[in-house]
Structure 1
Amino acid sequence: MTDQVPPPGLYAAREPIFPRRVSGSFRNLKWVIMAVTLGIYYLVPWIRWDRGPELPDQAVLLDLANRRFYFFWIEIWSHEFYFVAGLLIMAGLGLFLFTSALGRVWCGYACPQTVWTDLFILVERWVEGDRNARLRLHRQEKMDFRKLRLRLTKWTLWLVIAMATGGAWVFYFADAPTLFVDLFTGQAAAVAYITVAILTATTFGFGGFAREQICIYACPWPRIQGAMMDEDTLTVAYREWRGEPRKHSEAAKTEPMGDCIDCMACVNVCPMGIDIRDGQQMECITCALCIDACDDVMERIGKPRGLIDYLALSDETAERGGAAPRPIWKHVFRPRTILYTALWSAVGIALVIALFVRADIEMTVAAVRNPTFVTLSDGSIRNTYEIRLRNKNNDDRLFRLSVIGDPAVRIDLEGTPYGSIEVPADTSLLQRVYVIAPPGSAPAQAERSDLRFWVEDLTNGDRAYKDNSFIGTGEQQ
């Protein structure tokens, strides 16, 4: 009876990746971007901005309770969500633009998963040492005191960073100094603690343990990016015609050896654990750390830099034929990227124009059609409307309401004998309004008549209007 070999599993077991430390221009650029992005994320909620009495003094605030978004001097109301939609469209177009020009450069430099994973790896390196030391610790099966101490120290620092990440996020939704005190005194709302706990757990797990698995399996962008790229897109690539055959390959015994000495430096520094010499792969996030590692080796052995470089497929074909690669600007400025830039700019300009032309006062008019009209004792026909007035100013304003259409109609405001009403600063007010047409007038006898409601700010003369209709008996004499 022969032993049966078990069938291979559907999924291969994950091999932990321990990237080696590297220095170079691209690594320095990643440090700068990490510092800037993390600085923005952690510090922005603490920036103060004076908006006057009874308004939040936080420069950037998503005030969900009052359905308002504050961004320095800009205030977005809930009914102006199209500004947020426009920003999301610009973000999408910007991602298309950068991907079509430089591949997954967003993933390699500015994606939150990349930034926090980089930060966690930095902490891991401080605590456990560089790649070889971390590998030895990982392969050590016995959990002695030293390994336990290093693990607990690393996990504690990760947990502090993760908690700061979750804490910083909730500060965007409430006054940061007040919420900070409430969180530590147990006075904050339950949703704040739940949000901090969820973000702490996900940051700790994704940045500390899952790492490249999120980019490979959870993120959909690697599978979408192919539609954004073409033969002129600059991506990290290996100049195979220059590097092959490698030093340790069989071909190197009979042919002149290429520049690649098979030192594995490009593999050892890759946070995704891939070998860029195998060609462009879905896992590659275009972080260019392999370029820094390879350039360092080339300098040491006296070979030209650029064995691994940002390279387009069209340039690869040209170089194989002995031609020089095209300048970078010709790859960046081409019809596809120009189209994305034009669309991105058009949306941005439209948002800026909409921001500056919007009025400080707004009104909405809704007719109450149950019943459609009321016949008064003197034979007049009355329609009822609900008008919502929005005062976007920082002080209380007096607004006068009027209606134009047929000169015979008149307007009454519920709760006040005057044709004006005071609306508090930076808020909205719902006012019930009655429009009355005397008996025998055209609006009273017509089935439907056009009306225009006007609101005027008595402080500065600003005006706004909304059109609606007046419902009559439909029994013209």
Structure 2
Amino acid sequence: MALTIEIDHAKSRAKTGGGNPSPVVPQSVRGRIRRLKWAILILTLAVYYVVPFLRWDRGPNAPNQAVLLDFENGRFYAFFVEIWPQDLYLVTGLLVLASAILILTNAIGGRLWCGFACPQTVWTDLFLLVERLIEGDRRQRLKNIGARLTLRRAAQIGAKHAAWLFIAFATGGTLVFYFTDAPALVDALAHGEASVTALSWIGVFAGTTYGLAGFAREQVCTFMCPWPRLQGAIWDPEAFTVNYRDYRGEERRSAKKAAELRARGESSGDCVDCGLCVSVCPIGIDIREGPNFACINCGLCVDACDGVMTKLQRPRGLIDYESWNNIERGRRGEARVSRIVRPKTIALTATCLALAAALVVSFALRTSGAMSVQHDRDPLSVRLSDGSVRNAYTVKLLNKSMSPQRYTLGVEGLDATMTIVGSEPGGSITVPADGSETLRVTLTMVDPRDTDVIFVAKEVAGGAALSVRDRFIDR
């Protein structure tokens, strides 16, 4: 059968007196999924606000903040992990791994990330909580839309926005803490000594939080975020997304009418068309209309519907996390089938494990130094009066550690005399901490020929050796 995925969700919103759709004003709801969302909100906010103040001893000359993105020195620190600019491949690998995990999650449960852990969802939930505490639940807030401004109403608006701004500036300030020493910046802010740069970025991040969580809300999830648009390519009918069991709920009738029909032995759907599933939706859609790419899979409509079914003494699960294929099986009167483990999820899981293993191995095998070799191009070689041939190279040694390193430089793969311009024969090269050293090197062959040459730099202290392959040219 043909399946239409609804994108336009404005028709399900409450109407104002003028007939125009009002902003989405979600109603509070209680239930197991709402409790899970509160737990995730508390956990994620605690991690976000606390992590910048955790300490991690990395020894002398290194910052002791556990998580720090140090732009000044080109470092990213995350506890025992230290990422350098030369480790861009690791960052790329982490992004690819995160994308693969997101696709795997989508294949299992749809937009679970969006509904439970996305920063937009978390901070919007927090802002909504403040709004409810100050202005009341949905019914009262809808009454306030377009109502006459009174002193009490003005006080509520002022208190709400003051609380939102406090949260926004706390959020913006904490984000800046990840880029500098958090306790030092807190002290500077407390004494009015913070730099203009820090204050500017705090203002930018605070304004973004205030605007997106306070006003944009569902518009971000529906129109600004690219993830809903990708659902057309990766939507999986076997994924356990929020769906309405229409074969059980239709035809919709009021509870009283349904009871009368059932008393006469006639059938009636379980849905009483109370509209609570729409009222609690933070996006403002009606899940009963079918799968909707705007749905963030938060499950609040599941809690709302289960509460109504419990009061009416009807089975829960009229709206539930269910695969679309099972919805169609239910329509045909067939038994439901759970297919979380299937070729797609197995392949995605294997891909995630392989990517994670490759990143771990790459991180374990990396060294604290790097070497590059550049062959002189003009001229490529010089023939000396005794018939030997000399090639010149520029060798650059990079020390990514926080302490000086000493290297000895040699060549392998050919019988040649190596000379380091400006250095004693057989001497070591000292590379400063978090710095580099550029060397001018010549190789002279008495019996010249075109061949590969391997430059090898070994740490005097016995660490890992660096090697780069180049070419000796006899022309």
Is the counterpart of residue 179 in structure 1 residue 185 in structure 2? Answer: yes
Change (3 A) 1:185 1:67: same
Give CA-to-partner distance per residue, 1:224-252, whole Å, 9 cap, x none. Answer: 11321232121111112222222249996
| 1:161 counterpart (146, 152, 167) | 167
Distance 1:202 1:270 in 2: 23
Distance 1:414 1:470 in 2: 22
- 2:365 maps to a residue whose letter is V
| TM-score after normalising by structure 2 | 0.88
> 2:30 is paired with a residue of what secondary structure?
coil
Change (3 A) 1:410 1:341: same
| 1:16 counterpart (11, 19, 23) | 23
> 1:165 is paired with a residue of what secondary structure?
helix
| 1:74 counterpart (69, 81, 98) | 81
- 1:429 maps to a residue whose letter is S
Question: What is the percentage of aligned positions where both structures have the same residue?
Answer: 44
- 1:337 maps to a residue whose letter is T
- 2:417 maps to a residue whose letter is V
Whether the 8 Å contact between 1:388 and 1:428 is mirrored in structure 2 is no
**Does 26-35 or 367-376 show the bigger shift?**
367-376
- 1:470 maps to a residue whose letter is F
Change (3 A) 1:408 1:97: closer
Aligned to 1:275: 286
Is the counterpart of residue 290 in structure 1 residue 298 in structure 2? Answer: no
Is the counterpart of residue 237 in structure 1 residue 243 in structure 2? Answer: yes
Is the counterpart of residue 49 in structure 1 residue 56 in structure 2? Answer: yes
Aligned to 2:322: 311
Aligned to 2:456: 454
Whether the 8 Å contact between 2:244 and 2:287 is mirrored in structure 1 is yes
Tell me by how many angstroms 1:30 deviates.
0.7
Which segments of 5 or more consecutive residues in structure 2 lack a partner in the other structure? 1-9, 12-18
Whether the 8 Å contact between 1:386 and 1:430 is mirrored in structure 2 is no
Distance 2:276 2:412 in 1: 79
Distance 2:94 2:321 in 1: 30
Distance 2:247 2:472 in 1: 80
- 1:385 maps to a residue whose letter is Y
> 2:115 is paired with a residue of what secondary structure?
helix
Tell me by how many angstroms 1:108 deviates.
0.9
Is the counterpart of residue 301 in structure 1 residue 312 in structure 2? Answer: yes
Tell me by how many angstroms 1:97 deviates.
1.0
Give CA-to-partner distance per residue, 1:151-183, whole Å, 9 cap, x none. Answer: 111111111111122212222222222233344
Tell me by how many angstroms 1:299 deviates.
1.0
Distance 2:219 2:414 in 1: 70
> 1:236 is paired with a residue of what secondary structure?
strand
Alignment of 1:100-249 (within 5 A): 100-140=107-147, 142-185=148-191, 187-248=193-254
| 2:466 counterpart (448, 460, 464) | 464
Tell me by how many angstroms 1:468 deviates.
1.5
Is the counterpart of residue 336 in structure 1 residue 344 in structure 2? Answer: yes
| 1:437 counterpart (419, 434, 444) | 444
Count of matched residue positions in the alignment of Structure 1 and Structure 2: 454
Tell me by how many angstroms 1:358 deviates.
1.8
> 2:145 is paired with a residue of what secondary structure?
helix
Tell me by how many angstroms 1:374 deviates.
5.6
- 2:174 maps to a residue whose letter is A
Alignment of 1:55-70 (within 5 A): 55-70=62-77
Change (3 A) 1:420 1:177: same
| 1:360 counterpart (354, 368, 374) | 368
**Does 179-188 or 110-119 show the bigger shift?**
179-188
Distance 1:386 1:175 in 2: 38
Whether the 8 Å contact between 2:253 and 2:269 is mirrored in structure 1 is yes
Tell me by how many angstroms 1:116 deviates.
0.8
- 1:70 maps to a residue whose letter is Y
Change (3 A) 1:414 1:470: farther
Tell me by how many angstroms 1:317 deviates.
2.1
Tell me by how many angstroms 1:109 deviates.
0.9
Distance 1:175 1:388 in 2: 32
**Does 117-126 or 398-407 show the bigger shift?**
398-407
> 1:21 is paired with a residue of what secondary structure?
coil
Whether the 8 Å contact between 2:431 and 2:437 is mirrored in structure 1 is no
Alignment of 1:88-103 (within 5 A): 88-103=95-110
Distance 1:378 1:465 in 2: 31
Tell me by how many angstroms 1:361 deviates.
3.1
- 1:156 maps to a residue whose letter is A
Give CA-to-partner distance per residue, 1:277-336, whole Å, 9 cap, x none. Answer: 222222211111011111111111111111111111221122223333224xx2x21111
Change (3 A) 1:408 1:287: closer
Whether the 8 Å contact between 1:363 and 1:389 is mirrored in structure 2 is yes
Distance 1:44 1:377 in 2: 67
**Does 289-298 or 450-459 show the bigger shift?**
450-459
Change (3 A) 1:291 1:399: same
Tell me by how many angstroms 1:384 deviates.
3.4
> 1:437 is paired with a residue of what secondary structure?
strand
Which segments of 5 or more consecutive residues in structure 1 lack a partner in the other structure? 1-9
Distance 2:109 2:416 in 1: 68
Distance 2:416 2:295 in 1: 74
Aligned to 1:5: none
Change (3 A) 1:247 1:350: same
Whether the 8 Å contact between 1:402 and 1:419 is mirrored in structure 2 is no
Distance 2:411 2:354 in 1: 38
Change (3 A) 1:372 1:184: farther
Tell me by how many angstroms 1:111 deviates.
1.3
Distance 1:428 1:402 in 2: 21
Distance 2:172 2:42 in 1: 18
Distance 1:370 1:133 in 2: 80
Distance 1:154 1:416 in 2: 73
**Cα-Cα RMSD:** 2.6
Is the counterpart of residue 85 in structure 1 residue 92 in structure 2? Answer: yes
**Does 381-390 or 98-107 show the bigger shift?**
381-390
Aligned to 2:397: 389
Aligned to 1:423: 431
Whether the 8 Å contact between 1:97 and 1:340 is mirrored in structure 2 is yes
